[in-house]
Amino acid sequence: MVEVARYFTDFTQGESCGKCTFCRVGTRHMRDILKSITVGEGSMEELADLEEIGEAVIKGSLCSLGKTAPNPVLTTLRFFRDEYVAHIEEKRCPAKMCRSLIAFYIDLEACARGCDACVACCPVDAIFTTSNRKKAIDQEKCVKCGECVYACPPEYDAVRRVSPPEMIPDQGIEPLTEKEESEA
């Protein structure tokens, strides 16, 4: 929900004609706060700021764009406040949407040996073969696009998405050596 609010605020901020100061500056300020929350850098004080600025933008805007621009933020703050708090206090995205706060890993128990379906879909070659010839994700390379989740056949369903990134379990992964690879 936080990412949804950020997306809509970013959109309306871009659409503002700039005539009213509250709409022009207020939506920009809200967008910046939401951005910092989605990357785990928000504060509880900023939640109060979001509500205050949102109400001011509604009151101080001339047209319906400005008068409705804060609605996604104010509504999600009212009904999904716990999600905002999780982003701020636990650096965790409950919806597992915010890229800075999530990570992907492959469950070695579920991954099928010899199935390479995820490898070709990765845009940054982050998926490598492990010493037991399963697949794993190089966290340094992964850009968290989520493509491998969809590429993995449903009968294996081996790609996991977690938040915060520290939730990735230690599976004792060893990459396949070049010698082992050439002998395969």
Residues binding ligand SF4 (CB under 6 A): 16-20, 23-24, 61-63, 65-66, 104, 106, 111-112, 115-118, 121-122, 124, 126-127, 135, 137, 142-148, 151-152, 156, 158-159
Q: Which residue is nearest to ligand SF4 (CB)?
A: 66
Residue 43 or 139: which CB sits closer to ligand SF4? 139
Contacts of 38 (CB under 8 A, 6+ apart): 2, 3, 6, 87, 93, 98, 100, 101
Q: Are 70 and 28 spatial neighbours (Cβ–Cβ below 8 Å)?
A: no
CB of 142 to ligand SF4, least distance (A): 3
**Smallest separation (angstroms) from ligand SF4 to the CB of 107:** 8
Cβ distance to ligand SF4 smaller for residue 91 or 134: 134
Q: Which two tokens stand for residue 38?
A: 């989605």
Residue 44's CB is within 10 A of a number of other CB atoms, namely 11
* Percent of residues in the chain assigned helix, strand, coil, to nearest 5: 50, 10, 40
Compute the least distance from the CB of residue 73 to ligand SF4, in Å: 15
